[in-house]
Amino acid sequence: MNASENNKYRELTLWIIIFSILLALPTKLVFFQKNDFSLGKEFSQKASIRQSPIASKRGVIFDRNNYVLAEDIPSYEIGISLKDFSFDPLHINLLSTNLDLDNDRLKKRLARKKTKYLVLNQKVVKQKKEHIQSLEIPGIVISNRTFKRNYPQGEIFSQLIGLTNYKNEGVNGIEFALDETLKAEDGYQEKILSRKSGVIQNTIIKEPINGSAVNLTVDSKIQFILFDKLKKAVEFHNAESASGIIIDLDSNEILAMTNFPSFDPNNRKKLKNMELLKNNSAIELFEPGSTVKPLALSALLKNNPELIKSAVNTSPGWIEFEGYKTEDARNYGTLSTEEIIAKSSNVGMVKLCSDFDPNQILRTYYSLGFGKYMNEIFISTREGYLPEYKNLSLREKVSLCYGYGLQTTLVQLTSAYSTIFSEGVYRPLKLIKNSSQFEEERILSKENAKQIKKILYNAIKNGTGFRAIVNDHDVFGKTGTARIFKNQKYNDDLHNALFIGMTKIEDKEYLLGLFVKNPKINGEGGGDVAAPIFSEIIETIQKL
Amino acid sequence: MPKFKNQSTLQRIFLGKHDRSLGFADIDIPMLFISTFLLFFGIVMVTSVSLPLTSGTLNMTLSHIQKIFIAFVFALFAFRMPMSFWQKNSIYFLMFSLFLLILVFVPFIGKEVNGAFRWIRVLGFSFQPSELMKFSLIIYISSYCIRKYDEFREEWLGFFKPVFLISLSILLILLEPDLGSSAVIFIVSFSILFIAGAPLKHLISIFIVGLFTFIGLIFTASYRIKRIMGYLDPWNNEFAEQLRASLSAISNGQWFGVGIGNSQMKEGFLSDAQTDFIFAIITEELGIVFSLVLILAFSYLVFRCFLIGRYARQNDYIFGCLVSYGTGVLIALHVFINIGVSTGLLPTKGITLPFISFGGSNLMLMFVLITLVQKIKIEVNFSNKVSV
């Protein structure tokens, strides 16, 4: 075979190979159309349909006068498209200042070359968004209208109202307790990318369900007054903290419930101390000290109404039980029952109690609400502590009468006093308007309650609570100074100052519970620290 | 014989001062027709695909037309030059191409796209030297095989001289890295050597070396292995998203397509839709039946190249024969790889669809090569007329 002949065959071989591989293409196409066609169709449908959520609004929380305490407001995501961003240090500075970002960290994030889009803040409110738009920084992308929880009243309500998490679920306070009512369900829509470019079809698959509103019994104005006075008291006495509750005795509705220090729920970045999330007025446990004496007396009178007429010799100002000394501030000599409460005599209470069955006292305490969760106000509460009857020593038994050996919360203690001022009928407190009614129950006889109320009047007028007096007003109440049990002992330098008091303003009875933790200067007891807060609050409320 | 007789102005512009006038019989009309059709069809498809990418403006279409114009100027130059010019100067073209392939790695001249150095920037235009290399190698190998006809068929050294230069070019392209173009260059060079009559044992040995290098290179780069995995299971593999989108586009099109401009997958679902995956959009918009016609058109173009190659050989014009076959094989490979990848016949590998895909370098290459093939036919015809 000559060379030319050889080349002819080679050409033929090349023709065959090249046209065979070209023939593979139509074969594959037809084969694909027959077999994998449905898979491709399914994928293209999936690819062209984009599901996206439709934001829903969580329920609004109102106070009794329909002032907004918590609501969802529109928010926007602000990000940078790095392709269009100038990386001008001035622009970076403007962004970090306006969006509360760390300048160096932002620079580092911008330096990561792999990202094309950087989210700066997912929840920016409208005003801020407009401000950032006005800066006209190139590359800024504003998108995704969603909602952000806003608390217009700020720190004065933060512990009571609580917070929501990034999923807009309540995590504490009212937000958590009433999450079922408040919560909203996002809807979603399917965006079908149309075959004609630019046009997008939206099909709403599920409408968003907004949350229901909740009305609280609290009054923003009164809450503000309470918060303001507590704050001043903490600063004046250099105390650790203070809590307060104000109740409208006509309806037993809570008008105010707050604590200081608090935090700004709208700026959570500043919230470093998680203890501040706690609503101390409902969950901080303490020994009630002398504030429990009127309640103890009511238990004693329940068994022996004649006791009211008796007199007790408290000389020499102290008494010893099982090696422990119980003392009064001074030797008061012989005191009537009324005077024992007014002077807040521990010795007197010990002597009155020592002959009684402690079970009677414990039962009364329990029926007044001690040792029980307060489910009627929905928010988290603590049950406190009441000792078990059979384990009580004599010393423990008598200390129950002057407020040691049991633990309570401010809301529990205030609720117990409300029973006395409601003529002996226990009426559950209310925090939520239109919430289902809990059962009322008579705990003390009318007569008994009246007697205690009179004693409480005397305790202010002639006793330790005189600083709570507001001119022209009848004030009823009791101070308390409880030593703090710390490091396995009661410390003489650490006290809680308490005052529970009631007065009438224009036919409306207000019951106040005040608790100041460990005041260090300008007085230390309930009479010096807590009682003056009462009169200040009442004076201010009067002016409303 | 009077010179310039019967020569019109246009003929003078296109042909120069030839002593023979150009008749329709001299040009390969089917080839001219098909390449023109593909070109105009390319403009239509680039417009359709680019509209969503350029937010409704014609920027990309205008840029494509601009590139066609530049390619046309190059093709005109190629047409004016006698074939002997290319045959004589092929080694300089090869050297120039090698120089440009090295320039790709020089900062400020070379341009990096997705981690690969395949482009250089000249006067505001981006250019792929590997495309020029395809052209240079075709004319260089063809010319070498003629010049050293006996040496190359009978001596080892004579055979391995061109093989060395081919290997060097492939190595530089592999460094970019661009395995697809390397493979194309290898097969085109191999085909020319085969047609030129290189000894079979030499051919088999370089084929085996080439094959093993190719397989070795696939398994040394993780992204290539991922592409192979995606190719084997396109519907479930996370790395096969582009392939899935391409197959979906083809499914959407069914037999007769969704209509031009109506593609769904071009709206951001299929990346590189204007270049390497334009076939998927063509099938989606115009249907499988039209795609089969398109494949037929490309095959016919290859067929015409081969036919001219055979015609040249029959007239003992071996350089023209080799260039024509080289061009035919190059077009066939581009079409096979591009459409094969879009339809899932081959693993994903970006390569352009001749005359249709957006991109200037490949357009220029195809224009110039097709022009040379036409020129080969004309020169063979002229030499026949002269000799008659």
B297-310 pLDDT, tens per residue? 999 999 999 999 99
| Structural domain contains residue B10 | no
Mean pLDDT of chain A: 87
- CA gap A174, A159 in Å, rounded: 9
Looking at the complex, report in whole angstroms how far the Cα of residue B195 sits from the nearest Cα belonging to chain A. 6
- Of A175, A194, A213, which marks where a domain is finished? A213
Per CB-CB distance under 8 Å, the chain B contacts of A47 are 245, 248, 265, 269
- Read off the pLDDT of each residue in A406-422 and give the average, rounded to a whole number: 94
Answer yes or no: do A233 and A192 share one domain.
Answer: no
Alpha helices, H only, A121-164: 126-135, 158-161
- Lowest-confidence segment of A63-77, A103-117, A244-258, B169-183 by average pLDDT: A103-117
Determine the 3-state secondary structure of B197 from DSSP: coil
Answer yes or no: do A226 and A337 share one domain.
Answer: yes
Written as one letter, the residue type at A130 is E
Q: What is the pLDDT of residue B82?
A: 85
pLDDT at B375 over 60: yes
**Structural contact between residues B143 and B195, judged by C-beta atoms closer than 8 angstroms:** no
> Which residue out of A17, A29, A33 would a mutagenesis test of the B interface target, given it has the greatest number of B Cβ atoms within 10 Å?
A29
Q: What is the pLDDT of residue B3?
A: 46
DSSP annotation of A437 reads P
B249 in contact with A, Cβ within 8 Å: yes
- Read off the pLDDT of each residue in A525-542 and give the average, rounded to a whole number: 93
Answer yes or no: do A281 and A190 share one domain.
Answer: no
Q: Which residues of A185-210 are buried (b: 16+ CB within 10 A; e: fewer)?
A: ebeebeebbebebeeeeeeeeeebeb
pLDDT at A452 over 90: yes
Instruction: Pick the residue from chain A with its C-alpha nearest to B191.
Output: A14
Looking at the complex, report in whole angstroms how far the Cα of residue B101 sits from the nearest Cα belonging to chain A. 28
- CA gap A539, A541 in Å, rounded: 6
Residue % of chain B over a pLDDT of 70: 91
Determine the 3-state secondary structure of A152 from DSSP: coil
- Lowest-confidence segment of B130-134, B231-235, B237-241 by average pLDDT: B237-241
- Lowest-confidence segment of A43-52, A315-324, B159-168 by average pLDDT: A43-52
Looking at the complex, report in whole angstroms how far the Cα of residue B79 sits from the nearest Cα belonging to chain A. 26
**Structural contact between residues A381 and A430, judged by C-beta atoms closer than 8 angstroms:** no
Q: What is the pLDDT of residue A259?
A: 95
Check which CATH number belongs to the domain holding A321 and give it: 3.40.710.10
Q: In what side-by-side order are the strands of the sheet with A475-486?
A: A253-260, A241-248, A508-517, A489-505, A475-486
- CA gap B245, B372 in Å, rounded: 37
| Structural domain contains residue B240 | yes
The backbone torsions φ and ψ at residue A52, rounded to the nearest 5 degrees and listed phi first, read -140, 145
B298 in contact with A, Cβ within 8 Å: yes
Chain position carrying tokens 């049950």: A383
pLDDT at A107 over 70: yes
pLDDT at A270 over 90: no
A201 in contact with B, Cβ within 8 Å: no
Sign of CA dihedral B210, B215, B219, B221: positive
Q: What is the pLDDT of residue B17?
A: 61
pLDDT confidence of A397, banded at 50, 70, 90? confident
- CA gap B77, B66 in Å, rounded: 17
Instruction: Pick the residue from chain B with its C-alpha nearest to A194.
Output: B264
Answer yes or no: do A230 and A371 share one domain.
Answer: yes
- Read off the pLDDT of each residue in B351-360 and give the average, rounded to a whole number: 89
Query: How far does Cα A48 stand from its chain's mean position?
Result: 46
Per-residue CA distances from A281 to A23, A244, A306, A382, A478 (Å) = 84, 6, 36, 10, 18
| Structural domain contains residue A379 | yes
Answer yes or no: do A165 and A118 share one domain.
Answer: no
The closest CB to that of A11, out of B195, B258, B344, belongs to B195
| Structural domain contains residue A19 | no
Determine the 3-state secondary structure of B83 from DSSP: helix
B 197-236 near A (Cβ less than 8 A):
197, 235
Determine the 3-state secondary structure of A84 from DSSP: coil
A36: tokens are: 């994998």
Identify which of A28, A21, A10, A125 has the alpha carbon closest to the alpha carbon of residue A77. A125
Residue % of chain A over a pLDDT of 70: 94
Looking at the complex, report in whole angstroms how far the Cα of residue A16 sits from the nearest Cα belonging to chain B. 11
| Structural domain contains residue B222 | yes
B230: tokens are: 């995606």
Check which CATH number belongs to the domain holding A133 and give it: 3.90.1310.10
Answer yes or no: do A451 and A307 share one domain.
Answer: yes
- Of A125, A146, A167, which marks where a domain is finished? A146
Answer yes or no: do A114 and A159 share one domain.
Answer: no
Residue % of chain A over a pLDDT of 90: 46
The backbone torsions φ and ψ at residue A316, rounded to the nearest 5 degrees and listed phi first, read -95, 30
**Structural contact between residues B294 and B69, judged by C-beta atoms closer than 8 angstroms:** no
Query: How far does Cα B133 stand from its chain's mean position?
Result: 11
Q: Which residue has the higher pLDDT, B17 or B242?
A: B242
Decide if A7 and B194 are in contact by the 8 Å CB cutoff. no
The closest CB to that of A11, out of B302, B310, B345, belongs to B310
Answer yes or no: do A259 and A293 share one domain.
Answer: yes
B265: tokens are: 């997958």
A371: tokens are: 């040792």
| Structural domain contains residue A433 | yes
Per-residue CA distances from B19 to A377, B3, B80, B382 (Å) = 110, 6, 14, 10
Our CA dihedral for A235, A238, A242, A244, rounded to 10 degrees, sits at -60
Neighbouring-strand partners of residue A336:
A311
Per CB-CB distance under 8 Å, the chain B contacts of A39 are 235, 247, 251
**Structural contact between residues A276 and A263, judged by C-beta atoms closer than 8 angstroms:** yes
> Which residue out of A5, A6, A14, A50 would a mutagenesis test of the B interface target, given it has the greatest number of B Cβ atoms within 10 Å?
A14
- Lowest-confidence segment of B1-15, B18-32, B126-140, B290-304 by average pLDDT: B1-15
Domain extent for B269 = 25-85+149-387
- CA gap A290, A296 in Å, rounded: 10
Answer yes or no: do A139 and A254 share one domain.
Answer: no
Per CB-CB distance under 8 Å, the chain A contacts of B290 are none
Q: What is the pLDDT of residue A421?
A: 94
| Structural domain contains residue A28 | no
| Structural domain contains residue B112 | no
Domain extent for A177 = 50-67+153-213
Identify which of A114, A139, A141, A118 has the alpha carbon closest to the alpha carbon of residue A129. A141
Q: What is the pLDDT of residue A6?
A: 66
Answer yes or no: do A63 and A127 share one domain.
Answer: no
pLDDT at B189 over 70: yes
Q: What is the pLDDT of residue B220?
A: 84
What percent of chain B is helix, strand and coil (3-state, nearest 5)?
A: 70, 5, 25
Q: What is the pLDDT of residue A475?
A: 93
- Of A92, A111, A146, which marks where a domain is finished? A146
Mean pLDDT of chain B: 85
A19 in contact with B, Cβ within 8 Å: yes
- Read off the pLDDT of each residue in B102-110 and give the average, rounded to a whole number: 81
Determine the 3-state secondary structure of A311 from DSSP: strand
Q: What is the pLDDT of residue A48?
A: 63
- Read off the pLDDT of each residue in A261-278 and give the average, rounded to a whole number: 88
Answer yes or no: do A414 and A517 share one domain.
Answer: yes
| Structural domain contains residue B337 | yes
**Structural contact between residues A281 and A243, judged by C-beta atoms closer than 8 angstroms:** yes
Q: What is the pLDDT of residue A199?
A: 43
A191: tokens are: 């965006």
Q: What is the pLDDT of residue B7?
A: 62
A15 in contact with B, Cβ within 8 Å: yes
The closest CB to that of B51, out of A30, A195, A197, belongs to A197
- CA gap A246, A254 in Å, rounded: 6
Peptide bond into B177 cis (omega under 30): yes
A 227-266 near B (Cβ less than 8 A):
none
DSSP annotation of B195 reads H
- Contacts (Cβ under 8 Å, ≥6 apart) of B48: B260, B261, B263, B266, B281, B285
- Taking phi over 0 as left and psi of -120 to 50 as alpha, with beta for the rest, A518 belongs to left
- Lowest-confidence segment of B28-32, B56-60, B309-313 by average pLDDT: B56-60
**Structural contact between residues B251 and A44, judged by C-beta atoms closer than 8 angstroms:** yes
Answer yes or no: do A362 and A467 share one domain.
Answer: yes
Interface predicted TM-score (ipTM): 0.89
| Structural domain contains residue B231 | yes
The closest CB to that of A32, out of B56, B335, B343, belongs to B343
A165: tokens are: 């998490």
B 82-101 near A (Cβ less than 8 A):
none
Identify which of A148, A191, A166 has the alpha carbon closest to the alpha carbon of residue A53. A191
B33 in contact with A, Cβ within 8 Å: no
Identify which of A94, A90, A87 has the alpha carbon closest to the alpha carbon of residue A118. A87
pLDDT, tens digit (0-9, with 9 covering 90-100), for A175-226: 999 999 999 988 887 776 544 444 456 677 788 899 999 999 999 999 999 9
pLDDT at A137 over 90: no
Domain count across chain B = 1
A37 in contact with B, Cβ within 8 Å: yes
Report the run of H or E that residue A149 belongs to, with start and end: strand A140-150
| Structural domain contains residue A399 | yes
**Structural contact between residues A191 and A49, judged by C-beta atoms closer than 8 angstroms:** yes
Domain count across chain A = 3
pLDDT, tens digit (0-9, with 9 covering 90-100), for B110-127: 777 766 777 787 777 778
